[in-house]
Amino acid sequence: EAGVAQSPRYKIIEKRQSVAFWCNPISGHATLYWYQQILGQGPKLLIQFQNNGVVDDSQLPKDRFSAERLKGVDSTLKIQPAKLEDSAVYLCASSLESAGELFFGEGSRLTVL
Amino acid sequence: ILNVEQSPQSLHVQEGDSTNFTCSFPSSNFYALHWYRWETAKSPEALFVMTLNGDEKKKGRISATLNTKEGYSYLYIKGSQPEDSATYLCASHNAGNNRKLIWGLGTSLAVNP
């Protein structure tokens, strides 16, 4: 069974530039999560999708972050414009149901200079 | 408590030692408790998802217990090996429409050969 795929693995940009991350969840998983993990902190949920609907985006900085999950499968997370404090690992995870075990991708490490 | 708390924050043990960590979580509206292992440069991997008070789960040398009434879970590693070196994260699901996961900050384990 293929796991959760994410790209790019690494990205270095300058502040005020834009960046987009892509995630392909495990086939059949209805729930998709985007997490931000800053060094020394626990994962912070940015957005949770159930199929193609948003169920929780309360911690998504909506002035600069956006995410979509068209057709309830792949998802993209965009940051525009990036700030220095956005430097983090962005993890995508999926689960069969909203309370089930999470399967994580390898993450996308963003460095904002 | 409203947050998930893990202790200790970090731990250094010798190969062969047995060790344990604690995860404290909100006991009200409890639904499930997750344990994940996150090795450097890899994606987090689920160890256990536990729901029943008094439950004990085991995977090889790693086991976990759950007390939902008092809101804590212990993770035990018997005979630690260098490959056990990782950050161990716990997360609590509360009951509700989207069963949001609340994450601890993790316990960083280093096993010296």
Residue B97 has pLDDT above 80, yes or no: no
CB pairs under 8 A between A and B: 49
Structure tokens at B99: 């069963």
Residue B99 has pLDDT above 80, yes or no: no
Least confident of A82-86, B60-64, B65-69, B96-100: B96-100
> What mean pLDDT value characterizes chain B?
92
Q: Which residue has the tokens 């990036």?
A: A82
Three-class SS state of B107: strand
A62's CB contacts (< 8 A; 6+ apart) are none
Chain B CB within 8 Å of residue A55 CB: yes
Three-class SS state of A84: helix
* pLDDT per position as a tens digit, B28-60: 888 899 999 999 888 899 999 999 999 999 999
Q: What is the pLDDT of residue B50?
A: 95
Is-contact B96 B65, C-beta < 8 A? no
Q: What is the pLDDT of residue B3?
A: 86
pLDDT band at B66 (very low <50, low <70, confident <90, very high): very high
CA nearest to B1, candidates B98, B99, B100, B94: B94
pLDDT band at A2 (very low <50, low <70, confident <90, very high): confident
* pLDDT per position as a tens digit, A3-49: 999 999 999 999 999 999 999 999 999 999 999 998 877 788 999 99
Structure tokens at B34: 């997750």
Cross-chain residue pair B43–A99, CB shorter than 8 Å? no
Distance between CA atoms of residues A98 and A91, nearest Å: 17
Q: How far is CA A13 from the centre of its chain?
A: 17
Question: What residues of chain B have any CB closer than 8 angstroms to a CB in chain A?
Answer: 4, 31-32, 34, 36, 42-46, 49, 89, 93, 97-101, 103-106
Distance between CA atoms of residues A20 and A108, nearest Å: 10
Residue A60 has pLDDT above 90, yes or no: yes
A63's CB contacts (< 8 A; 6+ apart) are none
